[in-house]
Amino acid sequence: MELGKLEGVKIGTSEEVEVAVLQFTDDTLLMGGSSLQNVLSMKSLRREIGCGNTVLFWKNEWCESGLLKICFRRLFHLSTQKNCTLRDMTVWVDGRMHWEFRWRRALSDRERGMVEELRRIGGNIQLMAGVLDTWTWYPETEGRYSVQSAYKLIKAPMIENNDPIFSLLWGLGAPSNTCVFIWRMMLDRLATKANLLRRGVISDESAANCVLCLQNTETAYHLFTRCPIAVNLWAKCSRWFGCCSISPGCCRDHLLQYVWPGLSSKQNAAFWMVWFAMTWSL
C-alpha cells in the first residue's frame, strides 16, 4: 500500500513477481508474507465507511457485531441480497436513510424480530453520499500512519495468543472458519446477546436472554455449555464416549477436559473434532 507497510510475497521461480494487493470487483484481498509487521499492519487498519459502495452488507465486517451472515444466519439464507453493498441495501426518503431488505418468502414473527434487531444495528451508521470508503490507520486519531504509533504498537504486549491452547487449535487441521469461530469464542468475541448489550447494540436487558432456553443471559459460556439444551447434548456426547464430564467455569476448560492422558495426539485430535462439531452445531 502507499505507506509501504505491507510487505508483499513473491510468486514465480525464474521471473519473480512481487504481490502486495489484489483488488477484485466486490472486495479487496491483501496478500503478504508471514511476518509480525504484516500482522500488526493488518490489525491496525480500519475501514471508514463513506457512501458504502465497496462494503458488502452481509459478507464484510463493518459493525461491532461481526459478520452479519454469521450473526443472522437464518436471515442471510433468506435474503435475495447476499452480495449487495451497504449502498445497495439503502433507500433515501425525504433526506433520511432507510434499510431496504428483500426476502425469498414471507417472514415468521420470530424472523421479523430478528429484522428489527438488524435494523437497530444498521442504525448505528449513516452513509454519506459522494464520500469514498477508505482504510485508516487506527492507532493515530487522524488515521495517518506514523513511525511513532507503529513502534508503540509493536512494543505493546500481544497476550491473547500466548495461551498454548491456540497453538493446538491452529495446528489441528480443522476448517479455518471453524477454528476462527472457536478462537473468537475463547476470547469472548462472538456476537452473543450479552456482548451486544454491553456494546449498546441491544438496549433492553430482557432481549439479551439465551436464544435457546430464553432464560439466562446469553453469554458464550452459557450458550455453549450451561444452557439446558447444551447440557443435554453434552451429556449424550459423554455417554457416547463412555465417560463422565463436568461443566467447568469457562469454554476453554470445557474444551481441555477432552484431552485424554495416554492417548496419542491424533486420537485426542479426534475428540477435539467432535467437540468442534458439537459447538458449531449449537
pLDDT > 90 fraction of the chain, expressed in percent and rounded: 10
> Which of residues 120 and 10 earns the better pLDDT score?
120
* pLDDT one-digit tens code per residue, 179-221: 888 888 888 888 888 888 887 777 777 788 888 888 888 888 8
- Give residue limits of the domains in the chain: 9-48+133-155, 50-132, 164-281
> What mean pLDDT is predicted for residues 242-262?
70
Of the chain, the percentage scoring pLDDT greater than 70 comes to: 69
- Read off the pLDDT band of 151 (50, 70, 90): low
156 band by pLDDT with thresholds 50, 70 and 90: low
Cell digits for 213? 432456553
Mean per-residue pLDDT, 14-42: 48
Q: What is the mean pLDDT of residues 2-29?
A: 47
Question: The pTM is what?
Answer: 0.43
C-alpha 233: how far from chain center: 25
| 128 grid coordinates | 454519506
Give residue 101's pLDDT.
94
Cell of 26: 466486490
The predicted-structure confidence for 214-236, as pLDDT tens digits, reads as follows: 888 888 888 888 888 888 888 88
Q: Give yes or no for residue 27 having a pLDDT over 50.
A: no
Q: 245 pLDDT band (50/70/90 cuts)?
A: low
Dihedrals phi, psi of 232, to nearest 5 degrees: -65, -40
For the chain, the three-class secondary structure string (H helix, E strand, C coil) is: CCCCCCCCEEECCCCCEEECEEECCCCEEECCCCCHHHHHHHHCEEEECCCCCCCECCCCCCCCCCCHHHHCHHHHHHECCCCCECHHHEEEECCEEEECCCECCCCCHHHHHHHHHHHHHHCCCCCCCCCCCEEEECCCCCCCCCHHHHHHHHHCCCCCCCCHHHHHHHCCCCCHHHHHHHHHHHCCCCCCHHHHHHCCCCCCHHHHECCCCCCCECCHHHHHHHCHHHHHHHHHHHHHHCCCCCCCCCHHHHHHCCCCCCCCHHHHHHHHHHHHHHHHHC
Q: What is the pLDDT of residues 39-89, one digit of tens each?
A: 455 556 667 788 888 889 998 888 777 788 888 888 999 999 999 999 999
In 10 A of CB 208, how many CB atoms?
A: 19
How far is it, in rounded angstroms, from Cα 215 to Cα 212?
8
Residue 165: its pLDDT value, please?
A: 73
Amino acid at 137: W
What is the residue whose three cell numbers read 500512519? 145
Judge contact between 272 and 264, C-beta under 8 A: no
